[in-house]
Structure 1
Amino acid sequence: MTDPTQEPRFLQDPYPAYAALRCISPVRPVSGPGGRPGYLVTGYAEAREALGDARLSKDTAVFFAGRQSGRRLHPAVARTMLAADPPEHTRQRRLVTQAFTTGAVARLRPFIARVTEELLDQWPADGPFDFVAGLAVPLPVVVICELLGVPQADRPQVRRWSAELFAAGEPEVVDAASHAMADYMTALIADKRRDPGSALLDRLIAARDGDDRLSEAELVSLAVLLLVAGHETTTHALGNALLALLRNPAALDRLRSEPDAVPDALDELLRFDSAVSTATFRFTTEAVELGGTEIPAGVPVTIALGAANRDPARFPSPDRLDLDRNAAAHLAFGHGVHRCVGAPLAKAEAEIALRAVLTRFPGVRLGVPEDRLEWRHTRLVRGLVSLPVLA
């Protein structure tokens, strides 16, 4: 059969295609960019196993060594912590973990709530409000920029560069954005060295933890990663969650009447329509058997988190939004040593934002027909270009 993930309707709704592929095999060979052979994982058990298997490396420098790609991604984007294996990954991750603990995020909650209310104050009395542009984008941007210490005047441009980094099918745009973002962060780090503050980026600059000290290249790369990853996926998680509720009136009515139930509903909303559709790059360092399929050494393995979260073997009736489901084992944030370090912050932002919307605007509804909704043209993340809603 033809690969259904290559069909135009896949971006609108990838789950039928994922289900079709999973029925054939939860692990199957596919053709990657340029016809390069690879494997796609769509089953939950297989995805979880692959995410925790050290034989699946994320070290892109090793995989692409000697290969001519024609790309000019800045090393700060091409060689982030996400593209490293332990112990390098462990060393860098340890330096930022404290900023995203439950306690650290709890201290940020009043700031997140204040920003949310200020953004919702701009909701027009009549006419549609773009939930993506008006709340889902600016909220996590403001929060991560505040956490890192990015000046307020620079935040709109930083957001534009971040969006361009996900411009699927436009490699020149992506490459240019990578250089712009890295150059900006290099300059910001220099500014902070001259005038230190107390933000996370200042603490990374000052990090002196024995052999854990960051090199200059690692510092710039980590700053770029935190900035981009700290808001891009949260933006899409917010949009996907609200749309899922708007499409499921019973679930919407329940949370509208019980807004305190939003925290318990988050895992199911994250499972139902994952903001990260496929995990970032991995390849086999040796032959690996996964789901009864033998994967040879040296080939890319794409782990479809969105597909795994809709696997009926793990989540019965997976295409149904069920707020009573225990979905805590979802893979929307990944699994293993590379599980998203910012997951507690993302969940706090989603909880506060959704609760505020449902409390202040209990009559919220779609402002356009569903067939007019447009999705981002990328298979890495799944998110809406806009989400017009009415109060």
Structure 2
Amino acid sequence: MTTPVTYPFNTTEGLDLADAYRAAQRTPGLLRVKLPYGEPAWLVTRHHEARAVLADTRFSRADAQRDAPRTTPVSPIGLVATDPPDHTRLRRPAARAFTARRAEALRPRVRAITEDAIRRMITAGAPADLVEHVALPVPIAVICELLGVPGEDRDRFRGWSDTVLSTSGATPQDFMSATAALKAYMGDLLDRRQAEPADDLMTALLRARDEDAPDERASRDELVELCIAILLGGYETTASQFADFTWVLLTERPDALPELAGRPERARAWVEELLRYVPLAASASMPRYALEDMEVGGTKIRAGEPVLVAIGAANRDALRFPRPDALDPGRDTSGHLAFGHGIHHCAGAALARVELQEGLSALARLLPGLRPAGDATWKAAAFLRGPATLPVAW
């Protein structure tokens, strides 16, 4: 067996894609890696192999309940660690309730929340921290409104989310305590929505669940974990992406926001290219276990072995995206894997796109002269890379 190399490769400073990924893409076969926790794994870095693994039902996420390779002390919970038929059963209420139509209907509200946050930052005066004023409060406000979480509880959610998604700054006890607090809170809120329905996603999830046959319905605990997954995915991921995208545009393409101010319809193309271009995760995650012997990229994978898919590297594969390190909103970005692929494709992708499009458009509209006002500081202990602070002026 090949001796595994230490992983992850990316540093916490900046958003560069580590050269080790490019070397792996040029080397035949898969790379054997060892993460801070769990057993060794095979690493997929090329786009066509990544897409194939993500879609292949011969790889199991449910088996990742074992000592899975990971950057956190404890493996993720809920929908991301299931296979069909359980995954199909649990995702069904989310698919019915968390639709592209619902996300699009939220666009005016997302725009209002974003503009309000930017105007408050303007009132506070330059220089200001874009992360604290816009990137963090906007997605937490959106996802809490969507789920029906009272506004006064949003800071609690932010603290729990930061702990659950920490890769080295939290102890296993901290992780379990934050997870337990999230479960208890979500369970209480779910019970209230069961008794008193409202116009929110949690009520929609309950109604969608109740449409299923009794023996196929998600349990209360399963719905709680689904809501937690929506919260974490809908808040931290979008917050990090918005800060990352803004930093990239300000430092690499300062012409972008002035262009968007005059051509707001270009926001969709910019967002798709930034989704492809920015390697968001600190490392590949969510191992998939081979259910039988098979071959991937010329490497023999034996039944029971875990495989990790490096999304950030796959999105920079020159065989799929020519000149992959160039930021080009005019390119064909179809097939990028920023939201995953296959049955575990992100259920909240439509809402994330709306938030990111509206976020960049609002910056362009209200602050076309936005510029850096100092060096960014970077999150040192988080699963998702990005600025911890991003000082800006206008």
Aligned to 1:9: 11
Note the C-alpha offset of 1:356. Answer: 0.4
Give 1:198's aligned residue: 199
> Counterpart amino acid of 1:149?
G
Counterpart in 1 of 2:78?
A: 80
Give, as a single letter, the amino acid of the residue that structure 1 aligns with 2:239: T
User: What is the number of residues matched between the two proteins?
Assistant: 381
One-letter amino acid of the structure 2 residue matched with residue 317 of structure 1: R
CA RMSD of aligned residues (A): 2.5
**Deviations 1:101-148, CA, capped at 9 Å, x for gaps:** 232112111111111111111113542222222111111111111111
Alpha-carbon distance in structure 2 between the residues aligned to 1:37 and 1:362: 47
Alignment of 1:154 onto 2:153? yes
Cα distance between partner residues in 2 of 1:189 and 1:39: 39
**8 A contact 2:275–2:338 mirrored in 1:** yes
> Offset at 1:204?
2.7
**Which letter does structure 2 place at the counterpart of 1:316?**
P
- Given the alignment, which residue of 210, 217, 222 partners 1:218? 222
**Aligned pair in 2 of structure 1 residues 153, 56: CA closer, same or farther (>3 Å)?**
same
State whether structure 2 residue 300 is matched by structure 1 residue 294.
yes
* 1:334 to partner: Cα distance: 0.5
CA distance in 1 between counterparts of 2:389 and 2:80 reads 28
Distance 2:258 2:6 in 1: 35
1:348 equivalent in structure 2:
354
The alpha carbon displacement at 1:255 in A equals 2.8
Q: Is the 8 A contact 2:38 2:67 kept in 1?
A: no
Q: Distance in 1 between matches of 2:142 and 2:262?
A: 28
Instruction: Give the whole-Å Cα distance in 2 for the aligned partners of 1:35 and 1:158.
Output: 28
SS in 1 for 2:143: helix
Aligned partners of 1:88 and 1:21: how far apart in 2?
34
Secondary structure of residue in 2 paired with 1:191: helix
Question: Is the counterpart of residue 263 in structure 1 residue 268 in structure 2?
Answer: yes
Assess, with a 3 A threshold, how the Cα gap between structure 1 residues 220 and 8 changes in structure 2: closer, same or farther.
closer
By how many angstroms is 1:152 displaced?
A: 1.2
How much does 1:49 deviate? 0.7
| Amino acid of the structure 2 residue aligned with 1:31 | K
Instruction: Give the TM-score taking structure 1 as reference length.
Output: 0.90
Give the structure 2 partner of residue 50 of structure 1. Answer: 53
Q: Which of 3-12 and 164-173 deviates more?
A: 3-12
The CA distance in 2 between the partners of 1:109 and 1:374, in whole Å, is 30
CA contact (8 A) 1:142 1:155 kept: yes
From the superposition, tell whether residues 204 and 177 of structure 1 become closer, same or farther in structure 2 (CA, over 3 Å): same
**After superposition, what is the alpha-carbon deviation per residue over 1:279-323, rounded to whole angstroms, capped at 9, x for unaligned?**
423221222211111112212211110010111111111111011
Measured after TM superposition, the shift of residue 201 of structure 1 is 1.2
2:89 maps to which residue?
Answer: 91
Deviation at 1:189, TM superposition (A): 2.0
Contact 2:5 2:34 in 1 (8 A): no
Name the counterpart of 1:38: 41
Equivalence for 1:176: 177
Tell me the SS of whatever aligns to 1:280. strand
Cα distance in 2 for partners of 1:240, 1:213 equals: 38
For residues 62 and 363 of structure 1, the distance between their equivalents in structure 2, rounded to whole angstroms, comes to: 49
* Aligned residue number for residue 167 of structure 1: 166
Structure 1 residue aligned with 2:188 = 187
Contact 1:274–1:305 (Cα < 8 Å) also in 2: yes
**2: distance between equivalents of 1:49 and 1:204?**
31
Q: Matches of 2:206 and 2:8 in 1, distance apart? A: 43
Maintained 8 Å contact 1:255/1:262: yes
Tell me by how many angstroms 1:188 deviates. 1.6
Conservation of the 8 A alpha-carbon contact between 2:7 and 2:34 = no
1:61: Cα distance to partner?
6.3
Q: Is the 8 A contact 2:30 2:43 kept in 1?
A: yes
Determine the C-alpha separation between the residues in 1 that align with 2:266 and 2:91. 32
- For residue 242 of structure 1, what is the aligned residue in structure 2? 246
Q: Quick check: 281-290 or 353-362, which moved more? A: 281-290
**Is the Cα–Cα contact under 8 Å of residues 63 and 298 in structure 1 kept in the other structure?**
no
Structure 2 CA distance for aligned equivalents of residues 308 and 322 of structure 1: 17
The reply on whether 1:59 has 2:58 as its aligned counterpart is: no
Deviations 1:362-386, CA, capped at 9 Å, x for gaps? 11111213xx4313434x4233222
Deviates more, 1:266-275 or 1:26-35: 26-35
Runs of 4+ in 1 over 4 A off after TM superposition: 1-8
* Cα shift at 1:99: 3.0
Shift of the 300–328 alpha-carbon distance from structure 1 to 2, 3 Å rule, reads: same
- Tell me the distance in 2 between the aligned counterparts of 1:51 and 1:34: 22
Identity of aligned residues (%): 37
Distance in 1 (CA, whole Å) between partners of 2:288 and 2:137 is 31
Unpaired runs of at least 5, structure 2: none
- Partner residue of 2:386? 383
The corresponding residue for 1:128 is: 127
Mark the CA change 1:246 to 1:2 in structure 2 (over 3 Å): closer, same or farther: farther
CA contact (8 A) 2:378 2:388 kept: yes
Q: Measured at CA, do residues 134 and 99 of structure 1 come closer, stay the same or move farther in structure 2, by a change above 3 Å?
A: farther
User: Contact 1:262–1:355 (CA<8 Å) still a contact in 2?
Assistant: yes
1:157 & 1:26 partners in 2: Cα distance?
A: 45
Answer yes or no: is the 8 Å Cα contact 1:57–1:284 preserved in 2. Answer: yes
Answer yes or no: is the 8 Å Cα contact 1:279–1:334 preserved in 2. no
Match of 1:324 among 312, 330, 353: 330
Residue 174 of structure 1 aligns to a residue in which SS? helix
Which shifted more, 307-316 or 14-23?
14-23
Structure 1: gaps spanning 5 or more residues: none
